Structure 1
Amino acid sequence: MKEKISFENLKEFKDNFESDRANKVAMNAAATNGVIKAATNPLVFSNVRHNFSINLEQGDITNQKQSGRCWMFSALNTMRYRIIKKLNLKTFELSQNYPLFYDKLEKSNYFLESILETLDEETNGRLISFLLTAPLNDGGQWDMFVNLVNKYGVVPKYAMPETANSENTREMDGYLTKLLRQYACNIREEYKKGTTVENLRKEKKKYMENIYNILCICLGEPPKIFDFEVRDEDKKYICDKNITPVKFFEKYVGMNLDDYISLINAPTADKPYHKTYTVSYLGNVKEGRPVKYLNLEIDQLKKAAIAQLKDNLPVWFGCDVGQSSLGKQGILDLDAVKVGELFGTEFSMTKAQKLDYGESLMTHAMVFMGVDLDEKGNPIRWRVENSWGKDVGKDGYMVMSDKWFNEYMYQVVVNKKYLPKELQKEWEQEPAKLQPWDPMGSLAE
């Protein structure tokens, strides 16, 4: 075939298509039902049972609705689990609006500081173009959530409930993005005129006050103190008056967040295993700890997650949730959707190739709440708490096959005590710095 599509090519394609009966059957199925329904494998349902040898019980399922806050919901789900167990509660929910407020505020400041640090870069260069793409979208990473909790703590949901703008962030995000790009333009134009960075930072303070006001209008004012009141399963009344969000986290969640580290599986040639990595210009709280990963073989991620689950503690993780999945049914399995068979083709890229060529990256964060192990202790399937409401999967829970884990799992967060000593030592390495657009810089939404 030459450089153009000829009419002879088209006739050949048409004749070959029509000569194969399977093509017509596939066309009718896909045109009537859509690609996913037409390619759904009904046999997969028998392999994704909701039975697990290790099974943690959680409170009522949460729902992030029309927002990209899965990383917050998932992190808060690991924390509320501890409160529920500690206080013998039937269910409990932490405010997701509260960290959203401060994440937007901190991301705005982080973005403007990044603009101030890159004033000599070309506006149409790759770095500035990247920074301007999404100054404060909803997505995030575990370390970014840690920075919010360390600085601002957490609060019960009733202390800062959801609003229309926290449940559906598109309009708020759109106008804040428009404003931040305007501020970036102002800063860079004033710099060209000779305004000093010191004076530009004075302007930045005014900009940040405007951002704060808008967030209050959209999300409400975050509490500085609140009264903690619950009643446990034995009807015992628990009350803690005038407590701060930071003190509440320390007293009732009690996690030493410095002990929790991110393990990733990125099998690409540019990221050797057993090395640590960070990502340039990725963060929210400017003075907070940077994002940091230890890259390990996939079996090491499994071992660490299983060890923490055996200790009756949930595990935050990040994956590419849209791949080989049936979202409504809550199934993550390589055999769930046979699109290759429907189209009469193969999808054959390796995990490393998918990362290198932009076919896959981490898109969503959830929580492991269980795992089914065989007689040798090897995982068969994983129990997943999602944040899409109770109508997805089985009462809000999904099932992930272990083969799917191999292919589309990218990150787990565990207490480093569940790692062998040699891996704990590897974590202490100074991280190599990745480019801002590296796939490991993706944000869970």
Structure 2
Amino acid sequence: MKLSKIIAIALLCSGSFALNAQEREIDRIAAVVDNGVVLKSDVSEVINRVKRNAAAQNQTLPSDSALHTQALERLILTSIQLQLGQRMGLQISDAQLDDTIRNIAQGENLSLDAFRQKVTADEGDFERFRERLREEMITGEVVRANVQRRIYISPKEVETLMKIMEEQGAVNEQYNLGHILITIPNQATNDDIQAAKERADKVLALLRDGSDFKRIAIASSSGSNALEGGDLGWQNINEMPTLFSEAIRGRKKTDIIGPLRSGAGFHILTIFDIRGENVAEIQEVKSRHILIKPSIILSEDRARSMLVEFAAKLRAGEADFAELAKEYSEDPGSKLNGGDLGWSDPSVFVPAFKDTLNRLQQNEISEPFRTEHGWHIAQVLDKRTMDATADKKSEQIYRMIFNRRYAEESANFLRELRNDAHIEVMSED
């Protein structure tokens, strides 16, 4: 008996024994995904969230049927990633989650209580927000762990792009692109390709007749950003997939571009906005840290409490940071230097570490915070502003190439995951 039937029967049986034998509505299964399920209540939650966001932005939406299809697809892909994360042993502890929420709140200039009230007012359930954030952190780690190892960038590539950019002059513009993807199935026949091309042409005709791009993206796109109206965010032209960067050169705001053919399908683009990018200055910090890694022997609580004690002694002047780092830190790269990380752009560190450094004042010692490496306390010793001179250009260009490759490989990786999964979408009846 298929997994979906077993689960459905179990749910129906549990409903049949309700108090007073009264019929009642129970949660139903929308899809079976490998060893997991997507519930209809989850689909409804995503749809309601999209509707709230659209209302706040005065954004029109497609039909509920189109929203249902997009929401279900988003949840199917999330389920696949979460199951892979479980097999990989990825976990986000409550402490890690709390620290991320604290960083988000501080980024919005809100206290934790004020942020909780805002989330509750906007979404109705703070605990559900926490768990959704945990899922987003896990899926993000799944993609990063599997995609980064696919990317190799040679010094020659960096040198070549640097020469091209110098020949073109300073290419500092950033583009906020909109994207619609009409997919082509694996091992597509000529008929499949022609059918996808016809769908893309119809979408293009609607857009050129004045239809709202974001509304059409939500209704029609198979891209990962479909529920965000196809919004890809701000990118330098050299960070985009080559197919996109070549197509938008010389184009202006609101232009509709495409269909562009790739292995994934047909792409339609628009330019929501263009802005100049200020890369003249880079903010760097000189910092140091102490890392304690939880283990079978050392619990999460004990690792954190050790750092609470260290921070208290350091603030009271009863201990020396460098000596504590040399004795206790488990970061082999900085331990012997007293935890010193030197001068760095905070963006080179993992998000929780970067956010902490950006938040700290000079000489301030942080509270213990969690990253995927373990528990840390950190101190910013100094800050400076650097010109983006020649020694920084190669780093920036490397990052541009990496971002482009990362976007391309992420899409390929997620498509492969989706194609390899067993998915059974349940009837609406």
Q: Which TM class, normalised by the smaller chain length?
A: under 0.3
- TM-score normalised by the chain length of structure 1: 0.22
TM-score (norm 2): 0.23
Kindly indicate whether structure 1 or structure 2 has the higher relative contact order, using CA contacts under 8 Å at least 6 residues apart. 1
